[in-house]
């Protein structure tokens, strides 16, 4: 039975690596998969996802106004899809999350979404909030803070390396821009401690 999965964590936990590995496992068994990524996330090139450790794969880019159900339905008509993977799922809209739920419920195709739970200010991303509410299965991908505790929060650094306290919720970046911390060290860092 198909399900909607939300694999969430903070930055640098290996979500994309896990996505690419899971997709490869399907493909190795002769099954077709589709990877989706927000079009504006072009760090690895438009329509491409890449992990920190160098794994990468082609993906179907989507815009904020695109209907993900229609995209998957059309792709499924071309070649039967065994599973849909979404990288950086927090970049989706709430509507996108429901469109993927329809992929599961109406087309019987499992969807595995990988993304952040909260932003640099400790607020839920809209898509992550929706996924937490309606996903069939939630899976936390863990990483650690510099103190060794589980990292659950992230701070954003500005161009000078100072901690940002305001700004757009979506800002593309990696290790040069974001640091994963436990709740205690996130709060201390955000409060200048």
Active site residues: 88
> Using CA atoms, how far apart are residues 106 and 17, in angstroms rounded to an integer?
28
Distance CA(134)–CA(177), nearest Å, equals: 30
DSSP collapsed to 3 states, the chain: CCCEEEEEECCCCCHHHHHHHHHHHHHHCCCEEEEEEECCCCCCCCCEEECCCCCEEECEEECCCCCHHHHHHHHHHHCCEEEEEECCHHHCCHHHHHHHHHHHHHHCCCEEEEEECECCCCCECHHHHHHHHHCCEEEECCCECCCCCECCEEEEECCCCCECCCCCCCCCCCCCCEEEECHHHHHHHHCCC
């Amino acid at each position: 039975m198909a399900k909607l999965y939300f694999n969430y964590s903070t930055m640098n936990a290996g979500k994309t690596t896990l996505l690419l590995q899971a997709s490869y496992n399907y493909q190795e068994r002769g099954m077709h998969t589709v990877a989706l990524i927000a079009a504006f996330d072009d760090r690895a090139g438009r329509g491409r996802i890449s992990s920190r450790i160098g794994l990468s794969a082609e993906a179907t880019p989507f815009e904020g106004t695109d209907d993900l159900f229609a995209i998957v339905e059309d792709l499924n008509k071309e070649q039967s899809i065994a599973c849909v993977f979404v990288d950086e799922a927090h970049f989706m809209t709430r509507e996108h999350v429901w469109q993927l739920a329809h992929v599961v419920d109406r087309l019987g195709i499992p969807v595995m979404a990988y993304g952040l739970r909260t932003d640099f200010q400790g607020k839920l991303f809209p898509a992550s909030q929706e996924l937490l509410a309606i996903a069939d299965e939630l899976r936390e991908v863990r990483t650690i803070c510099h103190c060794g505790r589980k990292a659950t929060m992230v701070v954003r650094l500005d161009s000078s390396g100072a901690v940002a306290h305001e700004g757009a919720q979506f800002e593309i970046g990696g290790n040069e821009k974001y640091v994963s911390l436990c709740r205690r060290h996130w709060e201390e860092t955000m409060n200048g401690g």
